[in-house]
Amino acid sequence: MRKIEGEVPDYLRMLIKNPSLFLRKTHLIPFGLQDNLYDPPFMVDQFNELTDLVVEKLEKIPNLARLGDRFKDTLIIGDTHGFIDSMRRIIRPFLEEKVDSLIFLGDYVDRGESGFVNFALVLALKCAWPDNVIILRGNHEDIAMNQSYGLQQELLSYYNYEKYKQIAESIDIIYNYLSLAAITPQRSIAFHGGIPQEMERIDDLEIIPKPHGKIAAISDETERKKAYNYFEQLRWNDPRENQEEEFAESFRGFYFFNKQVVERFLEKSGAKRIIRSHESRRGGFMSLFEGKVLHVFSAEPYGGIISMAFVIHEQKNGTTMLRDLDFNPIQKI
């Protein structure tokens, strides 16, 4: 197993080494750590410790992470949505040192059965290898979303309401320190959703503060509104082929954007392509706008929609490979 480089408590080492074992309901019982209701994956103090450890790492990274040599050989991972078995398979080549780094595009919770532990595993990876793991914020990294799509109910199966509030508060703190986009050495721009209206280049993200909750404190109303729109639309907007309008309202309450928007955005950003996730309806992989946008989704099987999911591997030799969740090559892209 790859040597751990950061500060990681023993319970997080267990989670990284064997997520399936960690998920057993009885795994805390031998240590006398039972809580109320079902045995929780973490005691409140443990998750608070994880929060402190990971925020210390995340607060040093800007909303737009410009990635260096450590990310020349990297796996780019789409939505995992609490599918812990998918995550276990995805990270194996990293733990076995077959790739150097990991970029997560967001949506770690909700939908699946193990969102809490899935998210904790991503955070543990960041703590263990702070310079080799980038965690981006998706639209489900939002406490309000979690109340409707699964994470809140999952947490309340482990904790009473008072302890749930403490855990939820820590999760919200972490959400607000996640980065929003990354630029890889291959000049790929990675983010969760899509290009926001009025955003001409990816550098425009710099107007969004960290933690993201500070958007509300921006004094200039025009700048505050622009920052909020960028923050939301980057996580919610979607590409649409054969659309004449540059932006059109989407069924999500946000916007579809067309090929012209993509081409202008990439040219002004000095980038080659966009890699994004967000839409299960597109399946595990899709190339749009002549390869200028690559869609990837990394949870399987997902809701009767996705039977086979994928990751994108940007390799040291400059080529890009689509791989299945067991690292088998599918095709060059």
**pLDDT above 90: residue 270:** yes
Q: What is the rounded average pLDDT for all residues in the chain? A: 94
**pLDDT above 80: residue 37:** no
How high is the pLDDT of residue 144? Answer: 97
Average pLDDT over residues 246-273: 97
ω into 211 cis (within 30 of 0): yes
Please list the residues that pair with 247 across neighbouring strands: 257
Give the tens place of pLDDT for each residue, 306-315.
Answer: 999 999 999 9
- What letter does residue 32 receive in the DSSP assignment? T
φ, ψ of residue 103 in degrees (nearest 5): -125, 120
Average pLDDT over residues 99-106: 98
- Cα–Cα distance for residue pair 177/228, rounded to 1 Å: 15
Please give the share of the chain, as a percent, with pLDDT higher than 70.
95
pTM of the model: 0.95
* Domains within the chain, CATH numbers bracketed: 10-332 (3.60.21.10)
- Cα–Cα distance for residue pair 281/305, rounded to 1 Å: 7
Helices in 96-187 by DSSP H: which ranges? 115-128, 143-149, 151-156, 161-175
Give the tens place of pLDDT for each residue, 111-147.
Answer: 998 999 999 999 999 999 999 999 999 999 999 999 9
**pLDDT above 80: residue 69:** yes
User: Would you place residue 24 in the very low, low, confident or very high pLDDT band (cuts 50, 70, 90)?
Assistant: low
Q: Are 180 and 174 in contact (CB under 8 A)?
A: no
